[in-house]
Amino acid sequence: MIERTFSMIKPDAVLRGIVGEVIARIERKGLKIVGMRMIRVSEDQASRLYAVHREKPFYGELVSFIRSAPVVVMAIEGESAVSVMRRLIGSTDAKEASPGTVRGDFSCSKSMNVIHASDSVENAQKELAIFFGEGELLSYERLDAKWVT
């Protein structure tokens, strides 16, 4: 099933200058980036994105970190895009993320873990709506589509 998911390259990756390496992995996997923007996350966007964590002790730290520097938000499309992206980025706690995943290769931190990706189709729709307007996502065919899917 073709799905759309939301992903965000976090401030730590922007400040470390590894945005290109992360995006390259997404493209190389055969996923299609159908929306992408570098932004500063607003207070409203952060509180909507992290609504499920509002009661957690690390919520304040989480919001201030995500707003501390620019991020790159992406809409990503592909066959089973939600689960494919989750496997590609690795476990939340980067210390435990498998080598070969983005977090496993680039981080040892739970909070500064390089990249976020939605954990379900339902959350992907909600998260995409926080950062992208209706009709803003692009439609095109990758020339290698028949070889990578």
Active-site residue set:
116
- Taking CB positions, which residue lies at the least distance from ligand CMP? 116
Cα separations in angstroms, 82 against 16, 57, 77, 123: 26, 27, 9, 10
**Least distance to ligand CMP from the beta carbon of 116, Å?**
3
Burial class (CB in 10 A: 0-12, 13-18, 19+), 130: middle
> Where along the sequence are the contacts to ligand CMP (CB under 6 A)?
53, 58, 62, 92, 110-111, 113, 116
By beta-carbon proximity to ligand CMP, the closer residue of 58 and 145 is 58
Q: Which residue has the tokens 């996502």?
A: 137
The distance between the two most distant Cα atoms of the chain, rounded to a whole number of Å, is: 46
**Least distance to ligand CMP from the beta carbon of 144, Å?**
28
By beta-carbon proximity to ligand CMP, the closer residue of 122 and 144 is 122
By beta-carbon proximity to ligand CMP, the closer residue of 31 and 97 is 97
* Nearest-angstrom CA–CA distance, 12 and 90: 16
